[in-house]
Amino acid sequence: MLQPLKHGLGAAGTFPWRPLSWRRARLSTRGRGLEDFGTRLAAGPTLRHFLRNASPPQETRHQLVEELEPYVPSSILEGARRKVYLETYGCQMNVNDTEIAWAILQKSGYLRTHRLEEADVILLVTCSIREKAEQAIWNRLRHLTALKSKRLRSQAPLRIGILGCMAERLKEEILHKEKLVDIVAGPDAYRDLPRLLAVAESGQQAANVLLSLDETYADVLPVQTSPDATSAFVSIMRGCDNMCSYCIVPFTRGRERSRPLASILQEVKMLSDQGVKEVTLLGQNVNSFRDTSEVQFRSAAAPGLSRGFSTIYRAKEGGLRFAHLLDQASRVDPEMRIRFTSPHPKDFPDEVLQLVQDRHNICKQLHLPAQSGSSRVLEAMRRGYTREAYLELVQRVRDSIPGVSLSSDFIAGFCGETEDDHQQTVSLLRQVRYNVGFLFAYSMRQKTRAYHRLQDDVPAEVKRRRLEELISVFREEASRANGAMVGRSQLVLVEGPSKRSAAELCGRNDGNIRVVFPDTEMEDGTGSGAVVRAQPGDYVLVKVTSASSQTLKGVLLRRTSLRESAAHR
Ligand code: 5AD
Ligand code: SF4
């Protein structure tokens, strides 16, 4: 069951990004100062006014937009070199969203600071996936609002903003509860940040939590937080249509939409030109990618789902699919590794698996989020597969991609989960033997189907005990899986010094497992006999000497390249 999403003037009563007549209004008001803006804004409508006017009929919408424009002259939207401090919580999507938000603010004349004490604007990019994630942000907010209250009168006031999923979920609650929060911006409203901050400068709270059906920020080139990083995220789609019964994501991030392929490839190329050696294609549901922007592919047939898998929605016809994107992205630079996350197990047609196996620069690493090992619980979760279908997929993946590294997500203590269901998850963990795992205790989220239809009936201490058991079984099995690599050499992309010791370097192998090794001299790999030291961005061969559930340790053999090491596979 899909939640109808607000399009246009909606929940928070802000107007859509850049109405057609926007440019005209900006030009006619250019030159008036902040003071003037403040006076006019104070006399104008407040946030309450908009909330009262949420979702007016179409005609009224236009009127409202026209009325509003004079309150936002272009000069006001400029950051005037104010310093922004950004703090990111949650998943990799939020890391990428932080880069997008920053790219938009930088273009508006803001500066970035990594020191909280010198910030003029503090923005938290937030996560709502579990109660604990939100609690961390409420706590942080209390600290920041205390900081704001202590600002001297002689200083420019500090502005605080909540961005992302929690903003989307709790917009009014945040504004009511935390009067010192100035702006609230949902995941599809980052283009509106300069305007929201301009409104905040006049002392009013401002919010935009409109979800969009088509916003992908395709034209915004994210500005990476660490410019020297060897790897980068490239967002390829946003939102999710799956509606798993426990999950808040479809409500906070909205409907699934894909970014045009051409803009993705352009970004991958740009990153390659900058020397980035590994790109992770990102989205809530990457392998449902479907670019419908190119007319000639609009009627293409939908590829089949993985055998034994179903969806709550009808097959979506038309558009360029994930296999095509993967094919094209892996051709951009043969020395650039390609990963993708997070996929849904339903969308693994044979052609995707074949590509992963065939291309030397697509990592042989798949995330196959199982969530539970019990078919009964999987049905309650509305995952669209049984334990048997999932295990069949794992077998097909392992047959197609020998040596593939597998990771998964699991939820302990979902509604109605019995001890027997839990033991089935334990046995799935043992049977599949994942290399990497993300395990969570179930946290009920309002709005979801589970919240409305199911009972959160597993007591907290039982959830905790089951989670601990899953973690310990996962670790045991991962140690065995990783232990099988001892004595073998691994191709590692060097990231930099290890956290524990300056005498050691760390990087990741093809399976995305962390590898730590002493920073010693090695052969340069050209056969010239020259001796070099490994640098971030180098591919090196490391012989594994020991393994734990999370890390491999080893010794450097020599420098190499992706192509050369593939030739010797
Ligand atoms: N409670 C616990 N874990 C959750 N996840 C998603 N929603 C919840 C929830 N309500 C987990 C799933 C998902 C991962 C990103 O977070 O395992 O794959
Ligand atoms: Fe949430 Fe992932 Fe399910 Fe989408 S596929 S509803 S993001 S768990």
**DSSP tag of 362:** B
Distance 369 CA to ligand 2 centre (A): 10
Q: In degrees, to the nearest 5, what angle opens at C-alpha 328 toward C-alphas 323 and 332?
A: 145
| The 3-state secondary structure of 77-124, one letter per residue | HCCCCCEEEEEECCCHHHHHHHHHHHHHHHHCCCEECCCHHHCCEEEE
The Cα–Cα gap between 518 and 513 comes to 17
Instruction: Please name every residue paired with 506 in a beta bridge, in sequence order, or none if there are none.
Output: 496, 516
Query: pLDDT at position 33, please?
Result: 44
78 close to ligand 1 (CB < 6 Angstrom): no
The best mutation among 131, 169, 409 to test binding of ligand 1, ranked by most ligand atoms within 8 Å of the C-beta, falls on: 409
Q: Specify the pLDDT at position 16.
A: 25
244 C-alpha to center of ligand 1: Å?
Answer: 10
Pocket-testing residue among 92, 94, 129, 407, ligand 1, by greatest number of atoms within 8 A of Cβ? 129
Six token digits for residue 261: 């392929």
Angle at 512 between CA 303 and CA 516, to 5 degrees: 170
What pLDDT does 69 receive?
41
pLDDT value of position 293: 87
Cβ neighbours around 243 below 10 Å, total = 18
- The answer to whether the CB of 129 is under 6 A from ligand 2 is no
Closest ligand 1 atom to Cα of 247: 7
Which residues are paired to 208 by β-bridges? 185
The Å distance, Cα 63 to ligand 2 centre, comes to 38
Q: What is the distance in A from the centroid of ligand 1 to the CA of 411?
A: 6
Residue to probe by mutation, ligand 2, list 244, 256, 288, 305, most atoms within 8 Å of CB: 244
Q: What is the pLDDT along the chain (569 residues), one digit of tens a residue?
A: 222 222 222 222 222 222 222 222 222 333 344 444 444 545 554 544 444 344 433 333 333 333 334 455 566 667 778 999 999 999 999 999 999 999 999 999 999 999 999 999 999 999 999 999 999 999 999 999 999 998 877 788 899 999 999 999 999 999 999 889 999 999 999 999 999 999 999 889 999 999 999 999 999 989 877 777 899 999 999 999 999 999 999 999 999 999 999 999 999 999 999 999 999 999 999 999 999 887 666 666 677 777 788 877 777 777 999 999 999 999 999 999 999 999 999 989 899 999 999 999 999 999 999 999 999 999 999 999 999 999 999 999 999 999 999 999 999 999 999 999 999 999 999 999 999 999 999 999 999 999 999 999 999 999 999 999 999 999 999 999 999 999 999 999 999 999 999 999 999 999 999 999 999 999 988 888 899 999 999 999 999 999 999 999 999 999 999 999 888 77
Residues in the chain: 569
Give the pLDDT confidence score for residue 317 in this predicted structure: 77
User: Which residues contact residue 331 at a Cβ distance below 8 angstroms, ignoring those fewer than 6 apart?
Assistant: none
The closest ligand to the CA of 244 turns out to be 2
Query: What pTM was estimated for this model as a whole?
Result: 0.85
Ligand 2 binding pocket includes 93 (Cβ within 6 Å): no
Ligand 2: atom nearest CA of 250 is 6
pLDDT of residue 57: 37
Q: Calculate how far, in angstroms, residue 463's C-alpha sits from the geometric centre of ligand 1.
A: 14
Residue of 247, 417, 474 to test ligand 1 pocket, by largest number of atoms within 8 Å of CB: 247
Would you put residue 525 in left (φ > 0), alpha (ψ -120 to 50) or beta? left
Q: How far apart are CA 531 and CA 298, in angstroms?
A: 54
Token match 């010198």: residue?
118
Tell me what pLDDT residue 313 has: 75
- The residues near 425 (Cβ < 8 Å, ≥ 6 apart) are 372, 373, 374, 377, 410, 412, 470
Q: Which two tokens stand for residue 421?
A: 């269901």
Q: How far is the CA of 289 from the centre of ligand 2 (A)?
A: 14
CA distance 551 to 513: 6
Q: Looking at the DSSP assignment, which residues form a beta bridge with residue 279?
A: 232, 338
